Structure 1
Amino acid sequence: MDLRYSAEDERFRREARDWLETYLSDDFAGLRGLGGPGREHEAFEERLAWDRHLGAHGWTALGWPPEHGGRGLSLLRQVVFHEEYARAEAPARVNHLGEELLGPTLIAFGSDAQRERFLPKIRAVEELWCQGYSEPNAGSDLAAVATRAVNDGDGWVVDGQKIWTSLAHQADWCFVVARTTPGSRRHDGLSYLLVPMRQEGVTVRPITQLTGTSEFNEVFFDGARTETSLVVGEPGDGWKVAMATLGFERGISTIGQQVAFARELAAVVTLARRNGAIDDPVIQDRIAHAHMGLDLLRLHALRTLAGSPGETGAMGAASVAKLVWATWHRSLGELAMQVAGASALVVAEPYELDDLQRLFLYTRADTIYGGSNEIQRNILAERVLGLPREARP
């Protein structure tokens, strides 16, 4: 992949930068920097209005094909937008799960009727989505899900429990992996269902995190219903569809994520200079490694997104990407605490974290959610390198 930006790419950069600067200095000026990790509760309704404003002006679904309502922009143009969005300190998006995960999944696997029904509302940010994957006894081991769905002739009836469901308390719909073949085990017999959240039979219970906020939730399905037609792909093909969604999860938006990482690293360096920690050679070494690691994150992400992941193949590249950025970000949180010193142990009353404390606590989850580091290593060992499977009980 040629990583150089053309003159046309740079013109697009100026267009995106000017648009963001105009609206983030005017109608939405108060939203800069709001809603990041551990702060998802901040100005939710205002950020929702911002997302809808983006949709109304053609700044959502940038990579979707034009026939599905997107702009069909090249990889580099999408990279440019996410870079400029992060550099402008634009607020965290509330529609990530719909636009970046479900939308591409429906484009790849959905029926014409499903695409017609859901894609326009995702693009316009009129319906919000959450992801029903993890369960109390099936976190990163998605193949162990026990939530079941039965077609009673009038539609699917869903029973079970999901956990760590991000933004379920705000969502209108959930894409749910459920077992639809009685007696099936592991990857077989799963289906990928689209289930409305606002109905009897769906209960959402927020979970308080170490950051003091409640981004994610427990979700209980007790006879919840959805239409027969709202299974993506064929019944029993849920594993394949769910894995495709996870691939989209590690997509283009990770480029903007890395710009935010760079801002966090800069804050750590600024603190180190201010309190004298920069004079410690060990901290100097860790900061240098952090800078090099961030450059490698970007290069690996671009190579993977360009479809040139090397010998490991697409699955391996996605697992490597998750391992690399999650481990790097967790290490940055640890470096932040090392730089801050003993003051990092003090929390204001009432419980109020500063930015670096929040960074440290939130990044403890990075190596767990979206498939834990252990699961990613098993995928690489078993499915890419062909090593013997880990013993299972």
Structure 2
Amino acid sequence: MASIDLADRSLDLGEWAAATPDADAVFTAAVREWLTENLVGDFAALRGRGGPGSEHEFFAQRLEWDRYLARAGWTCLGWPVRHGGRGATLDQRIIFHQEYARADAPARVNHLGEELLGPTLIEFGTEEQKQRFLPGIVDVTELWAQGYSEPGAGSDLAAVSTSARLEDGRWHLDGQKIWTSLAHVAQWAFVLCRTEPGSTRHHGLSFLLVPLDQDGITVRPIQQLTGTSEFNEVFFDDAVTDADLIVGEPGGGWPVAMGLLQFERGVSTLGQQVGFARELEAVTALARRNGALDNPEIATRIARAGIGLRVMRAHAPAVIDAAPGADSVAKLLWANWHRDLGELAMDVVGAASLIGPDATVEGVPNDITDPEHVELDEWQRLYLFTRADTIYGGSNEVQRNIIAERVLGLPREARV
């Protein structure tokens, strides 16, 4: 097989694949070999860490792992080479996700930057913004948080009321965001806010890039059902950012915000589906070990989960090609599937799923949450975390409205 210098970021993986026989096989072998040789030593302790409900685990160590991946050329695979990426094909990105999951490598900490903001800046940002922010995402030296939802504007994103006004060459922000993932560890946030007083709905919104380490911003972690605090509420009290740190035109932030969500629900979900497959495999193996698989109802639900996973995979090309409504359908598919998997896991475990330790665990190796918390097992964490799947990222109700109104052409829902 032909060798491939994975650390050479000047190598365009797409062009290399087009000119290399059996490129996918070579790439698969290279990914597998690199993970085998490098997920060792201190990094070996990170295997399987940081998944849903366990975002607090080994955060500092997983951050260092992400930076180690960057130095070896494994971040931002699908970005163009001129922006620091690798120009990887869709098949190569799928291969990487599959091999990464197969190696039980730890959950990444730079998803919001690498999979959401980076592609959005490449699509909508200025050259100055790309030069300023893309390198920090590629090498994982700057982390990002998402400032979308508000107490009165969750799934109805067009109802945001956080405002910004332009004074003396800077935007001044006032308002509150909530469910802000990783804001307590991020240096920056991309914030959707209202910059035209009196505007309503999709009009008058702007997409700003805001530094979080300043006096005008307060970040308060929110304890979740799992006992961890991935989410936060963020308060803006005359917080500021430079005038040129707006993506798109003033008042034209809605298309940028929707473009980012398209990235979130598109290619970036490929890795998510690989993770889902591994979770289903683990639940099935548990059912086989403890005899739950002998229960016809459990066996049927496991079989249906397998079918549902195949449906998601079959639907993925429509999302990637941006077919109308495909991203909303995809959100409904994976959110309901994952929620049901959490319930299935509890039923496979049986009565023991209701029993938790009666003591707290001290010294959990992390640096972003209180080290004293009730320790849950992996299935309890999965179940509790997946209760939110049908809400965050656009609730089921909102996705169904989008499909009904924008794809099927049904009358719009009456708004109060």
Q: TM-score, normalised by structure 1?
A: 0.95
1:205 pairs with 2:220: yes
Identify unmatched segments of 5+ residues in structure 1: 1-5, 308-312
Q: Encode CA deviations 1:289-320: one digit per residue, 9 max, x unaligned.
A: 01111112122124432x2xxxxx53411111
**Equivalent residue, structure 1, for 2:176:** 161
Is 2:332 aligned against 1:323? yes
Q: CA RMSD in A?
A: 1.4
Q: Does 1:173 align with 2:188?
A: yes
Secondary structure of residue in 2 paired with 1:222: strand
1:388 aligns with 2:405: no
Give the counterpart of 2:396 among 337, 351, 373: 373
CA contact (8 A) 2:265 2:319 kept: no
Q: Say which of 124, 131, 141 aligns to 1:109.
A: 124
Deviation at 1:251, TM superposition (A): 2.9
Q: Which runs of 4 or more aligned residues in structure 1 lie more than 6 Å from their structure 2 counterparts after TM superposition? A: none
Greater Cα offset, 124-133 or 270-279: 270-279
Moved more, 269-278 or 166-175: 269-278
Residue number among 298, 319, 332 corresponding to 1:304 in the alignment: 319
Alpha-carbon deviation of 1:250?
1.6
Amino acid at match of 1:276: G
- Percent of matched pairs sharing the same residue: 66
CA contact (8 A) 1:82 1:253 kept: no
- Report the alpha carbon displacement of residue 256 of structure 1 after superposing the two structures with TM: 2.0
The answer on 1:188 being equivalent to 2:203 is yes
Which amino acid is the alignment partner of residue 81 of structure 1? F
Number of residue pairs matched by the alignment: 383
Match of residue 249, structure 2, among 234, 250, 254: 234
The residue that corresponds to 1:263 in the other structure is 278
* Rounded Cα–Cα distance in structure 2 between residues aligned with 1:14 and 1:281: 40
Q: Is the 8 A contact 2:318 2:326 kept in 1?
A: no
| 1:273 CA displacement | 2.2
Output the TM-score relative to the length of structure 2. 0.90
1:218-257 to 2 correspondences below 5 Å: 218-257=233-272
Cα distance in structure 1, aligned partners of 2:92 and 2:324: 24
Segments of 5+ residues of structure 2 without an aligned counterpart are 1-20, 360-373
- Equivalent position SS for 1:365: coil
Q: Of residues 341, 347, 352 in structure 2, which corresponds to 1:338?
A: 347
Q: Which amino acid aligns with 1:383?
A: R
- Once residues 376 and 140 of structure 2 are traced to their aligned partners in structure 1, the CA distance between those partners, rounded to angstroms, is 31
CA–CA distance in structure 2, aligned partners of residues 166 and 288 of structure 1: 33
Q: Where does 1:135-150 land on structure 2 (aligned, <5 Å)?
A: 135-150=150-165
Q: Is the 8 A contact 2:101 2:278 kept in 1?
A: no
User: Equivalents in 2 of 1:14, 1:291: separation in Å?
Assistant: 27
Match of 1:41 in 2: 56
- Counterpart among 314, 325, 340 of residue 323 in structure 2: 314
- Select the residue among 54, 57, 61 that pairs with 2:76: 61
Q: For 2:376, give the aligned amino acid.
A: L
Equivalent residue of 2:406, what SS? helix
Deviates more, 1:141-150 or 1:379-388: 379-388
CA contact (8 A) 2:78 2:88 kept: yes
* Match 1:289 to one of 298, 301, 304: 304
**Which residue of 2 is the match for residue 310 of structure 1?**
none
In structure 1, what is the equivalent of residue 143 of structure 2? 128
Would the aligned equivalents of 2:78 and 2:89 in 1 still touch at CA under 8 Å?
yes
Shift of 1:27: 4.8
